[in-house]
Amino acid sequence: MSKPERSWRIATNLRVIIPLAILLFVILLAQSILEYRAGRKAAIDLLSNQAGTLIHSVSTAAEKGLLAYESQQARITAHLYTVGEMVERLSAIREVKQRELDEILQSNDLALLQLVDSNCMPLLTATSYKYSIDELRVTAIKCEEFDPERPQAFVGFVNLSPDIHLFAAVTIFPDRRAVIAGVDADELLLMRRAFGAGSLIEALSQSPGLKYAAILEGISVLAASRNFPSDSIDNWYFSGVPADSTISTRIKRIESGDDIFEVLSPFYIGGQPSGQIVVGLDTAYLNQLTSQLRNDIIWRSGLFLFVAVLVVSGILIRQNYRLLSDEYKVIQDDVRRLEADRTLSAKLAAMGELASGVAHEIRNPLNAISVIIQRLKREFEPKCDAAEYRELTDIIQKETDRINDSVKQFLTLARPPVLNKTESNLNECVAHVTSLFKPRAEQKGCRLDVAFGDLPQMSFDTELCGQALLNLLENAIAAVDSNGRISVKTYRKGKACFLEVTDNGPGIPDKDKERVFDLYYTTKPSGTGMGLPNVLRIVKEHGGRVEIWDNHGGGTVFRMEFPIEK
């Protein structure tokens, strides 16, 4: 794998991993935010339910207390009117005496029983209070409003003095005199306070988690706890409750800097609206839950980022380790190839020196023999057995020529070939050689397959490269049987063009693979052992290399590599 390919793979992996990590982080963050909102809403709903329960309790208690108070007040009022009517009936029979008035007072457990004239001046007074008659004048009653047609003229609370509170009823006679009957109002006032909204609000404010409570009517505060911030009343208190809800809520910050959860709800007594009740709840639980949810989001996000960084770092480290391992393997392969190339170069140099020495030692005597044979054939032909003589001299001449050809091959190995490079395409050279070799393959019954890759123009010696390919094809056809298969393939990889020749023969034993490029080494009976060394020399002169390995389906693969020269 080339460095650009490795860099592209790293960049591709990062382009996949980083968006995936960001997507997962966004999903986790969105889920955390949803959980935060859901938790906060649940806490607000809990506070709203708590406030609603308190408001309902106040409304119910206030309504029951008011009904009890009104019932008690109605009972007392009826009793006072009964006493007044009794005095009226007695007055119609005879003049009422003080003793009789005192008895009526005591028997009916009254605090005051007073007979007044049409000007509200006391005529007779019976009382349980230790005051003079003049001091017990009920000044709150207006005699000019007495109407005999309305015998029950007045009922309510009156003050006889700063310390004496009376609940009185006035019964008017036909002659415009009147009887004022009253009971001590302290008990009734205590009852009103006990069952009144103010006491309920004050009791409600003592509930755990409740900061304050108040009952509002219009712009007025009917009742409020001591902690109610009456100076911070705003329009929200009078905006009413939404139509689809029974309460209205908000979080309000008061002057102390604390957040208060306020709940506003209509206040009903006897089924009739009597204002609005507002309660302020402590937000400590809400703030604690919100803080906990926020911390959970921060910790979860931080943990995810930490894990994501670890994962990405681990992936990068692993990729870098794999890349370094691949680089190390590539370096090892390059070292092995360089060592193999150096060994082959040494072998070529040794073969060249050997060939040069052999050629030098043989060629001169061989030339002399060739000249002598030519003279013998031309000048010394015998008169008898001339045919046999010519046959023998021809044999000597042919063998001499064969030895001379071997010497030329030695010299070829001894001297680097002179490359005649031209700009061409390797596919054209392969097509030419395979077209010439195909009849031989068909004659033996072998199949020759050729596959051309997309190759660029390159500078090489077409004749020498064709000779190298022809040598490989000769070895391949010698290795396969009839019905054998030989394939030739070209392709480009990186900055080199490759030419592979594959056969499905018996293959080359491992012990022979290291010697196939040695001079004179051959496993064929008729081989010279010079074909593969010549292939190696041609490829080396082009700056390439020759590799050999076993074919997966049996046989051998020879691959020639030619660098693309710009």
pLDDT in tens, 248-298: 878 787 766 678 888 888 877 667 777 777 878 777 777 777 777 778 778
Do 111 and 166 form a contact (C-beta atoms < 8 A)? yes
Give dist(CA 221, CA 230) in Å, integer. 8
DSSP string, 532-543: HHHHHHHHHHTT
What percentage of residues in the chain have a pLDDT greater than 90? 11
Together in a domain, 432 and 556: yes
Together in a domain, 394 and 269: no
* Residue 551 counted as domain residue: yes
C-alpha closest to that of 426 among 468, 462, 464: 462
Give dist(CA 71, CA 191) in Å, integer. 12
* Residue 552 counted as domain residue: yes
Last residue of a domain, one of 364, 389, 414: 414
Together in a domain, 557 and 428: yes
Q: What is the CATH number of the domain that holds 406?
A: 1.10.287
* Residue 540 counted as domain residue: yes
pLDDT for the residue 197: 59
For the chain, what is the mean pLDDT?
77
pLDDT of 397-439, one tens digit each?
Answer: 888 887 777 777 666 665 666 788 899 999 999 999 999 999 9
Last residue of a domain, one of 370, 386, 414: 414
Least confident segment among 146-160, 421-435, 547-561: 146-160
* Residue 433 counted as domain residue: yes
Residues spanned by the domain of 235: 196-282
Q: How many structural domains does the chain have? A: 3
3-state secondary structure of 58: helix
Together in a domain, 436 and 558: yes
Give dist(CA 279, CA 227) in Å, integer. 11
| pLDDT level of residue 219 (50, 70, 90 thresholds) | low
For range 199-224, the mean pLDDT:
71
Give dist(CA 536, CA 517) in Å, integer. 7
For range 318-345, the mean pLDDT:
77
pLDDT of 460-490, one tens digit each?
Answer: 999 999 999 999 998 899 888 888 899 999 9
Q: What is the CATH number of the domain that holds 203?
A: 3.30.450.20
pLDDT for the residue 132: 46
* Residue 385 counted as domain residue: yes
Predicted confidence (pLDDT) at residue 338 exceeds the cutoff of 50: yes
Do 511 and 472 form a contact (C-beta atoms < 8 A)? no
Largest CA distance in the chain: 211
- 397: phi > 0 → left, psi -120 to 50 → alpha, else beta; which? alpha
Together in a domain, 507 and 524: yes
Any residues with CB less than 8 A from the CB of 410 and at least 6 apart, and which? 354, 355, 356, 358, 359
Last residue of a domain, one of 414, 449, 468: 414
Predicted confidence (pLDDT) at residue 50 exceeds the cutoff of 70: yes
Q: CB 121: neighbour CB atoms within 10 A?
A: 9
Together in a domain, 540 and 439: yes
pLDDT for the residue 33: 79
DSSP state of 457: -
* Residue 93 counted as domain residue: no
Do 468 and 430 form a contact (C-beta atoms < 8 A)? no
Give dist(CA 265, CA 49) in Å, integer. 12
* Residue 184 counted as domain residue: no
Together in a domain, 504 and 555: yes
Q: What is the CATH number of the domain that holds 500?
A: 3.30.565.10
Least confident segment among 125-134, 329-338, 367-376: 125-134
Strands (E), 164-258: 164-172, 178-184, 210-217, 220-224, 248-253
Together in a domain, 402 and 429: no
Together in a domain, 442 and 405: no
* Residue 10 counted as domain residue: no
Q: Which residues of 359-394 are buried (b: 16+ CB within 10 A; e: fewer)?
A: beeebeebeebbeebeeebeeeeeeeeeeebeeebe
Together in a domain, 408 and 466: no
Together in a domain, 439 and 549: yes
C-alpha closest to that of 13 among 225, 320, 250, 249: 320
Together in a domain, 477 and 439: yes
pLDDT for the residue 133: 45
pLDDT of 319-328, one tens digit each?
Answer: 778 878 878 8
Predicted confidence (pLDDT) at residue 194 exceeds the cutoff of 70: no
| pLDDT level of residue 559 (50, 70, 90 thresholds) | very high
DSSP state of 146: -
Predicted confidence (pLDDT) at residue 201 exceeds the cutoff of 80: no
Do 47 and 286 form a contact (C-beta atoms < 8 A)? yes
